[in-house]
A and B are shown apart, each in its own frame.
Chain A
Amino acid sequence: MIEMEDCTKRYGDLTAVNNLTLKVSSSEIFGLLGPNGAGKSTTIKMMVGLLRPDSGLIKIGGKDISSDPLSAKRSLAYIPEKSHIFDRLTAWEYITFIGGLYGLREEAFRNNAEEYLETFGLFKWKEELISSFSLGMRQRLLLTSSFMRKPKVVILDEPHNGLDPKGIRLLKDCMLGMRDEGTAILLSTHVIAIAEELCDNIAIINKGSIAAQGSSDNLKDYAQSDDKTLEDIFLRLTSDYKL
Chain B
Amino acid sequence: MKEFLTLLSPIFWTLKNELLSSGRSFYKKAFFYTLSSLAFILLVTKLLISGMCELQNLSPEIFNIILIKGYSLIFLIIFFVQVINGAIMSLDRYYQSDELTILLTSPVNRTALFFFKAF
State the A residues within 8 Å of B (CB): 48-50, 69-71, 73-74, 76, 78, 80, 82-86, 88-90, 93-94, 96-98, 100-102, 129
A84-B98, A84-B99 known; A100 vs B9 contact (CB < 8 Å) = yes
Judging by beta carbons under 8 Å apart, are A85 and B18 in contact?
A: no
B111 CB → nearest A CB, Å: 12
CB distance from A142 to the nearest CB of B (A): 8
Q: List 16 A-B contacts (CB under 8 A).
A: A70-B108, A70-B109, A73-B107, A74-B107, A76-B105, A78-B105, A80-B101, A86-B10, A86-B14, A88-B13, A90-B13, A90-B17, A93-B9, A97-B6, A98-B106, A129-B17
Number of residues in B with C-beta < 8 Å to the partner? Answer: 21
Q: Which residues of chain B have a CB within 8 Å of any CB of chain A?
A: 3, 6-7, 9-10, 13-14, 17-18, 21, 98-99, 101-109
B residues within 8 A CB of A93? 9-10, 13, 17
Give which listed residue, B13, B21, B101, contacts A84 with CB less than 8 A.
B101
Closest chain-A Cβ to B71's Cβ sits at a distance in Å of: 41
Pick from B3, B99, B106 the residue with the most CB of A within 10 Å. B106
Which of chain B's residues has its CB closest to A74's CB?
Answer: B107
Residues of A within 8 A of B101 (CB): 50, 78, 80, 82, 84
Which residues of A sit under 8 angstroms from B99, Cβ to Cβ?
84-86
